[in-house]
Each structure stands twice: as structure tokens, then as C-alpha cells.
Amino acid sequence: MLREHYGRGPIKAKTYALDDIVVCVMRGSGFTPLEKTMMDAGDGERVVAMRENFQEMMARRYREMIEELTNRKVLAFLSQAHVEPDITIEVFFIDRPLEGFGAVEVLDAVRPPPPSPE
Amino acid sequence: MRDSESGGPERPSQPPAPHGEQLLGGRLLAEITDRLVLLISEHYGRGPLKAKTYVLDNLIVCVLSGGYIALEQTMMEGGERERVLEMRRGFQQLMKTRYSEMVEELTGRKVLAFLSQTHVEPDLSVEMFLMDGRLPGFGALELVIEPDDS
């Protein structure tokens, strides 16, 4: 979707499922020639604003894609771009947790003393 | 009432780590959550109703929900939703240094970037910290259950 509609996609992208949240982290999206020109002119903030406007315009498409793949309703979509380091994060809050994901925490257990020989 | 959670499963309550000791796993997540909620309560006048922190590789994600102050409620009812969002965004940017210092102190790592977003209806805020390296004590475990041939 990003390649199709922005003209350039990220170098790295990873998606995580956390309870009822889906987080997509995209790194190294690179800059289009237009963005580079704006950055060189010290207008980095406008680049961030432009990327955020783009994400807002794409919100409906993103939501539909997530809803189709997860079979869950998206209750909220948050998106933020950051320049230097170049990272964009999309967060989808869905109406219930996804199956097949969870967390296991392993704590150092206090071992009981070995049984004394009889 | 605030429901402060760590990103891990239910765990027995543990005493706070002695000063200078590096917190790991659920204890680190719980401490970040508590300190963030405390900062918000102190400086915004009211903290979130729910807060939870996750670690994803070199990214720390704090999810906060609930807790409009009376002023925000009045503005929302008056149709000033965008202004509430703007006010919250402004507040988060003002708090950037305090939040980052707290996370750096607890993790022993440097914050490379701070990202913050707010959503109304449902009332959600996400604070994200991109760290200069992975945090120890976190990972993913995938359990695959083979189909039973019998």
C-alpha cells in the first residue's frame, strides 16, 4: 500500500500483536526527492506533517485491511512518523485480543532444598 | 481507580529493586508504567484509568486509556474535540524530556526518538520510546501445536 500510494516503502517492517493492539513498526522509509529538498531547507517538521497527513488519508484503507485479516473491528487507529531516526509506527486498537498470541514470563524460581538422604 | 499493569502475565508482587539495580522483565515494565502515570497525574492533574507497557525489540510502548479532566469533558461536549487532541499533543511534547529521562534512568539505555499519539472516543494515548538497543530480558516464544495424527 505504501509503495503504491506514497511511491516508496520502508526498508524494514515488523508487526506485533499485543493483547487487543496491532503495532506496525516501519524503519528506513527513506525520503522521496521532494522530502529531501524540504529536509535540506530545514523543513523537517513539514516532512513529518506531510507524512502524517498521508497516513490520515490512508486510515480507511489500513483499517479495512486489518479488519479483513484479523476478523476484528478496528476501534482506533493512531499513526506517527519520526525523522532522524526514520521510523513510522501504526497502531490499531481492535475490539478483542487476537488468538494465538500471548506472553510467558520466566522468573528465577526459588528451588526447594534437595531431599535429605535417609 | 487506576489499573496499572506490566506487559507480562500475572506475577507475584515483588519488592522494588534497590537503588541502582537494573530492573528486568515485568518489574521494569511495571516501574515504567507507574512512573509514567505518576508524571501525568502530577502535571496534568489526572492520570489514566488504565496503563500498560510493552517492549518490542528496541521499542517501548506505553498504552494509556481513560481519564478526561473536567475541562476536557466540557470541551468535548461543546464539540471542541480537535482542541482537546491538540491540547493533549502539546502536553505530551512538553513532557518529552521528563518521560525520556525517566525511561533512560530505568533502562540504562538512550532514547533515540519519542513518539506520542492521542485518540478520543475511545480515549487512548500511546507513548513510544525508540531505544538505542534491545532491552535484556524480553523476547518472544512461539508455541506450535502439531496436529494429532491419531
Average model confidence (pLDDT) across chain A: 83
Residues 21-80 of A with CB under 8 A from B: 21, 23, 25, 75-80
Q: Compute and round to an integer the Cα radius of gyration of chain B.
A: 18
Number of H helices, E strands in chain B: 3, 5
The Cα diameter of chain A in Å comes to 82
Which residue in this structure is represented by grid cell 496499572? B4
**Per the CB < 8 Å rule, is B26 touching A105?**
yes
Identify the CA nearest to B60 among candidates B101, B22, B29.
B29
Nearest to A82 by CA among A108, A55, A109, A45: A45
CB contact under 8 A, B124 and A18: no
| Smallest CA–CA distance from A17 into chain B, residue | B56
Is-contact B42 B113, C-beta < 8 A? no
C-beta atoms of A105 and B52 within 8 A: no
3-state secondary structure of A81: strand
SS3 B65: strand
CA dihedral A17, A22, A28, A32 (to 10 degrees): 160
Nearest to A107 among B11, B54, B126 (CB): B11
| Residue of chain B minimizing CA distance to A95 | B122
Task: Please answer yes or no on whether A78 and B122 come within 8 Å at the CB atom.
Answer: no
Which three cell numbers, joined as nine digits, stand for A33?
526527492
Please name the residues in contact with A115: beta carbons below 8 A apart, sequence gap of 6 or more: none
Residue B11 has pLDDT above 70, yes or no: no
Inter-chain touch A82–B119, beta carbons under 8 Å: no
Q: Is the Cα dihedral B79, B116, B56, B66 positive or negative?
A: negative
* Closest chain B residue to A86, measured at CA: B113
Residue with cell 528451588: A111
User: Band of the pLDDT at A109, cuts 50, 70, 90?
Assistant: very low
Q: Residue A16: its chain B contacts at CB < 8 A? A: 54, 56
Query: pLDDT tens, A15-50?
Result: 999 889 999 999 887 778 888 888 888 888 888 888
Residues B49 and B37: beta-carbon distance below 8 Å: no
Q: Taking the model in full, what pTM does it have?
A: 0.77
At residue B8, does pLDDT exceed 50? no
Are A92 and A19 in contact by the 8 Å Cβ rule? The answer is no
- In angstroms, the separation between the Cα of residue B84 and the nearest Cα of chain A is 16
**Out of A24-33, A45-54, A102-111, B101-110, which region has the weakest mean confidence (pLDDT)?**
A102-111
Which of A20-24, A91-95, A100-104, B17-21 has the lowest average pLDDT? B17-21
List, in sequence order, every residue forming a beta bridge with A65; answer none if it has no partner.
none
Instruction: Please give the span between the terminal C-alpha atoms of chain B, in angstroms, as a whole number.
Output: 51
* N- to C-terminal Cα separation, chain A: 71
Chain B residues closer than 8 Å to A25 by CB: 56-57, 59
